[in-house]
Amino acid sequence: MSTPTALVTGATGKVGRHVVDGLLEAGAEVRALSRDPERARLPPEVRVLPGDPTDSTALADAAAGADVALLVWIGFDATGAEGPVAMLGERVPHVVQLSAADLTTGGGSVQQGVWADVESLVEQHAEHHTFVRAGGFAANTLGWAEQLAGSDTVRLPHPLATRSLVHERDIAAVIVRAMLDPAHHDRAYAVTGPDALTQAQQVATIGRVLGRDLEVAEQPHEEALAELAGVMGPEFARQSLGYWASLVATPEAVSPDVERVLGRPALTYERWVQDHRADFGG
């Protein structure tokens, strides 16, 4: 493929912006789908089209003639995904999906979890697929920034839950490789950080980078459930909390796939905090 044309959904998001930069750097022609192209703030070389992945018509227009597409399905279940995914599969020979290492969370159409449901649809409809199954995003811990603005304590439901948090730049770098190199067709990668840290260790890392003495306090389950349910709905919140509780006894796996695909070690959580110092007021 000389100058591939790549469609990026979720292009203005945490991962998507890095994907766009990586594709441009590699010389691809980039199209992006955004609900509000005027506010997308993407590089001028990118053709930004209006819409989102739930809109089959917008997706069809954006996908016409593209060689590869990144699918970022935003939603806590797969309701409404079949039409758009089928449309994408008809028009684009290779669909890369930003999926999740924990495939089973979320109530989907066949009750196996949103990410597995969307993967099944992609597998069914696209000629080639690549599933980039991300572990917990390091960026999820930006949710602590508000607490840390007013205090040195972070309240958490499971401080000893142990996760291999991944830097969004690594997720994007794996996606870019997958989008541009047919060697990654019909593969699935588990994309995690290089080591597993308890949430208490994550908070300590933020403290170390910011030069602050931070503490963790255990948040009661019911309070955490109520907070999360407001963001993601009660069912997904209950499943997420259950998953985090399980990570106390069974730490999240550390995958070698970032290093395998990129030829360098995955970025550490400490590196991620350094890159996001300003977001924590540092």
Ligand X SMILES: NC(=O)c1ccc[n+]([C@@H]2O[C@H](COP(=O)([O-])OP(=O)(O)OC[C@H]3O[C@@H](n4cnc5c(N)ncnc54)[C@H](OP(=O)(O)O)[C@@H]3O)[C@@H](O)[C@H]2O)c1
Alpha carbon 123 to chain centroid, angstroms:
19
13 binding ligand X? (CB under 6 A): yes
Give the Cα separation of 190 and 193 in Å (integer).
10
| Contact range with ligand X by CB under 6 A, out of 67-75, 145-153, 176-184, 206-214 | 67-75
Residue 213 tokens read as: 């003495």
228 binding ligand X? (CB under 6 A): no
Candidate residues 131, 137, 189, 244; the one interacting with ligand X per rule CB under 6 A:
137
57 binding ligand X? (CB under 6 A): no
Q: Tell me how far, at minimum, the Cβ of 131 lies from ligand X, in Å.
A: 11
Place of tokens 């018509």: 57
Interacting residues of 40 by C-beta distance below 8 A, sequence separation 6+:
11, 12, 32, 34, 48
Angle formed at CA 107 by CA 95 and CA 220, multiple of 5 degrees: 120
| Contact range with ligand X by CB under 6 A, out of 5-13, 57-65, 222-230, 255-263 | 5-13
CB 172 within 8 A of CB 275: no
Q: Tell me how far, at minimum, the Cβ of 152 lies from ligand X, in Å.
A: 25
4 binding ligand X? (CB under 6 A): no
Q: Tell me how far, at minimum, the Cβ of 81 lies from ligand X, in Å.
A: 11
| Contact range with ligand X by CB under 6 A, out of 12-20, 59-67, 256-264, 269-277 | 12-20
108 binding ligand X? (CB under 6 A): no
The DSSP line for 94-123 is: EEEEEEESSTT-S--TTSS-HHHHHHHHHH
Q: Hey, which residues does 191 pair with through a beta bridge?
A: 134
CB 104 within 8 A of CB 112: yes
Q: Tell me how far, at minimum, the Cβ of 223 lies from ligand X, in Å.
A: 21
**Residue whose beta carbon is closest to ligand X:** 13
14 binding ligand X? (CB under 6 A): yes
Q: Tell me how far, at minimum, the Cβ of 97 lies from ligand X, in Å.
A: 8
Q: Tell me how far, at minimum, the Cβ of 198 lies from ligand X, in Å.
A: 16
Angle formed at CA 93 by CA 95 and CA 44, multiple of 5 degrees: 65
Alpha carbon 119 to chain centroid, angstroms:
14
12 binding ligand X? (CB under 6 A): yes
Residues 88-107 that bind ligand X (CB under 6 A): 98, 100
140 binding ligand X? (CB under 6 A): yes
Give the Cα separation of 127 and 129 in Å (integer).
7
Q: Which residues bind ligand X (CB under 6 A)?
A: 10, 12-16, 34-36, 40, 52, 72-74, 98, 100, 134, 136-137, 140
